[in-house]
Amino acid sequence: MNPQLSPEECAACLEILYRGLVQIRNLSAAGDSARAEAIADALHNLPHLLRTGPQRGWDVATFRNLFLEPLIERYPDLAWLTQPLDELT
């Protein structure tokens, strides 16, 4: 795991990944591939952050800014995905 992340940050990121994967599955089953793709695009770098982290030059806050915030701007009803990180601040 990424030594730069606290256990709480790791847990929050894993929860976001879980929520996102469940939502992708549900949206795919409903035929909403555009939303499913948007979530997948936002979350696909999360495992790399959890595993290695700083080599890419971003942390949890940067991940939120680069990937989660644009997703929520596009689909405001998905704001609940970020709740685990919101509880850390």
Q: Within its chain, how far is the Cα of 3 from the centroid? A: 19
Rounded to an integer, the average pLDDT of 56-63 is: 82
Predicted confidence at residue 33, as pLDDT, reads 97
pLDDT > 80? residue 16: yes
Q: What is the pTM of this model?
A: 0.90
Residue carrying structure tokens 């595993």? 51
How many angstroms separate the CA atoms of 51 and 32, rounded?
30
Closest CA to 42 of 13, 3, 4: 13
Cα dihedral sign, 14-79-45-4: negative
Distance CA 63, CA 38 (A): 15
Instruction: Of 38-42, 57-61, 84-88, give the lowest mean pLDDT range.
Output: 57-61
More confident position, 41 or 58: 41
